[in-house]
Amino acid sequence: MNSRRAVCLAAALWWAGTAASAQTVVGVGQGGTGASTPAAARSRLGAAAEVHTHSLTDLQGVTGKSGSGSVLMTFGGGGMESNTCAMFDNQGNLVSAGVPCAAQPGTTFTQSFTSATSVVMNHGMGTKHVVMACYDNSDQMVGVHAARVPTEDQAVVEFTEPQSGRCVVQGAGGMEITGAVASVFGRQGMVTAASGDYSFAQIAGVAGLGQGGTNQASWTAGRCVQVSADGARLESADDACGAGTGESSVAANSGAGAQVLKVGTNVTARTLLAGANMTVTQTEDTITIASAGALGDIHLGAGLIGQGTEADPFRVNPALVPMFVSESATLNGWGTIGGQSCAVRTYAFAGALSNDSVIVRRPANIPASLTVSAFVDLIGEMTIQICNPTAAGIEVADGYQFGATIVRSF
């Protein structure tokens, strides 16, 4: 009995020892994880959970986002110049536009001017890539003699004669041009203007009087052409040439004298009639008008002297009709005249006509760098113009006396 117990006890001890020495989990030393579950294995290996999220604070240097979108925008490369605009490329990346935002298409600057031959526009766009156009007070485009961009914030236009109106500067930087023109009139590459590029048939609109046209789009056949009542265009008159009330067939010795009809006009059965002191001789091809009396029948006005002979010809009486007319005035309120700009002031000048020749009298102490000129713009009025050809503004004090002399020849 004791022997059987001993055998059983020995078997039990052997079994217990065998169970204790058997391993159900492979340890790290045997190439395992030392864990009995997947979650525990990931934890022991330091792996993340199967589904997890991170906040922006988990990313170094990123503490938040702007906007409600779920897409994080990235810079797509290219130049990163300071003070340039950002734009999207065709891949949806943010890139540098390479030009200041102020020079993007659509940015405009407008400046008005009065009686100026040069206009300086300080547009402040920060680029020389601009386009310019000028218009008069009737919204007609004004031809520019010269245009230049001396700095990235300034543009200058010049005219051949004084103009009044406005100039517009538009930023042209940052444009993306697609569908480039392959050729112009068969010419490729850098295309420049050439004679004959456009014909009149390709140009729309009506040429105005200022462009050498008539400002009239249609005409009435068989009628004369006359200036319209407002002086803005040429138009068809009510009558044919030579048939209107303006025709005269009388050779009178007063007013404008006789009006002679040319051969071949549509006026027939009309002759020139002699006046009190005129004789008319008509042949098939010529008409002769002569004085009927002696020189004693000719009456001279108070402003004329002379007998009308070679020794004593007719001439203007300088005692009654002055050859030189001078007036002066003190003109104030000039203020500061900007660089490459002009300013004008006017004063009354009796007898001044628009075609008069004028000599200006420059004040002695006015700044030497300024130019002073004078001209007649309106009848009975003298215009004084001061221009500053320098780049900086120059102040013109009050109290300067300006003068002008009209020179006439008869």
Higher pLDDT, 369 or 223: 369
In CATH, what number is assigned to the domain containing residue 378?
2.70.40
Asked whether residue 373 is assigned to any structural domain, the reply reads yes
- Kindly state the tokens that stand for 64: 């938040």
Q: In 3D, which of 328, 327, 373, 326 has the Cα closest to residue 115?
A: 373
Q: What angle do CA 127, 133, 137 make, to 5 degrees?
A: 135
For residues 275 and 335, membership in a common domain is answered with: no
Kindly report the number of other CB atoms within 10 A of residue 340's CB atom: 18
Asked whether residue 349 is assigned to any structural domain, the reply reads yes
Higher pLDDT, 173 or 200: 200
Asked whether residue 345 is assigned to any structural domain, the reply reads yes
Q: 381-401 pLDDT, tens per residue? A: 999 999 999 999 999 999 999
Q: Do residues 73 and 94 lie in contact, with contact meaning Cβ atoms separated by under 8 Å?
A: yes
Instruction: Give residue 267's pLDDT band: very low, low, confident or very high (50, 70, 90).
Output: very low
For residues 328 and 285, membership in a common domain is answered with: no
Q: In 3D, which of 249, 308, 254, 244 has the Cα closest to residue 280?
A: 249
CA-to-CA separations, 230 to 216, 233, 234, 331, in angstroms, rounded: 13, 8, 10, 34
Which of 270, 291, 312 terminates a domain? The answer is 291
Instruction: Give residue 211's pLDDT band: very low, low, confident or very high (50, 70, 90).
Output: confident
For residues 379 and 331, membership in a common domain is answered with: yes
Q: Do residues 113 and 166 lie in contact, with contact meaning Cβ atoms separated by under 8 Å?
A: yes
Q: Do residues 65 and 74 lie in contact, with contact meaning Cβ atoms separated by under 8 Å?
A: no
Asked whether residue 276 is assigned to any structural domain, the reply reads yes
Q: 343-391 pLDDT, tens per residue? A: 999 999 988 888 888 999 999 899 999 999 999 999 999 999 999 999 9
Asked whether residue 13 is assigned to any structural domain, the reply reads no
What gap in Å lies between CA 209 and CA 233, rounded to an integer? Answer: 7
In this structure, what DSSP letter does residue 311 have?
S
Q: Do residues 159 and 166 lie in contact, with contact meaning Cβ atoms separated by under 8 Å?
A: no
Asked whether residue 163 is assigned to any structural domain, the reply reads yes
For residues 346 and 387, membership in a common domain is answered with: yes
Asked whether residue 183 is assigned to any structural domain, the reply reads no
The amino acid present at 280, given as its one-letter code, is V
Q: Do residues 49 and 42 lie in contact, with contact meaning Cβ atoms separated by under 8 Å?
A: yes
For residues 286 and 334, membership in a common domain is answered with: no
Rounded to the nearest 5 percent, the helix, strand and coil shares of the chain are 10, 30, 60
Instruction: Examine the pLDDT at 28 and tell me if it is beyond 90.
Output: no
Which of 150, 171, 192 terminates a domain? The answer is 171
Which stretches of 84-153 are assigned E, i.e. beta strand? 86-88, 94-96, 108-121, 130-136, 146-151
What gap in Å lies between CA 297 and CA 110, rounded to an integer? Answer: 66
**Domain of 142, in residue numbers:** 102-171
Count of helices and strands (H, E) across the chain: 2, 20
Asked whether residue 117 is assigned to any structural domain, the reply reads yes
Of 77-91, 104-118, 290-304, 328-342, the poorest mean pLDDT is in 290-304
- What is the overall mean pLDDT for the chain? 75
Alpha helices in 213-292 (DSSP H): none
What gap in Å lies between CA 238 and CA 400, rounded to an integer? Answer: 55
Instruction: Give residue 407's pLDDT band: very low, low, confident or very high (50, 70, 90).
Output: confident
Q: 137-152 pLDDT, tens per residue? A: 999 998 888 899 999 8
Residue 147, CB-side half-sphere exposure with 13 Å CA sphere: 15
Domain count, the chain: 3
The amino acid present at 231, given as its one-letter code, is G
SS3 at position 346 = strand
Write down the pTM of the prediction.
Answer: 0.27
Higher pLDDT, 326 or 60: 326
Q: In 3D, which of 282, 338, 351 has the Cα closest to residue 116?
A: 338
Mean pLDDT of 207-219: 80
Instruction: Give residue 116's pLDDT band: very low, low, confident or very high (50, 70, 90).
Output: very high
Of 51-55, 117-121, 328-332, the poorest mean pLDDT is in 51-55
- Kindly state the tokens that stand for 77: 């490369």
Which of 125, 156, 171 terminates a domain? The answer is 171
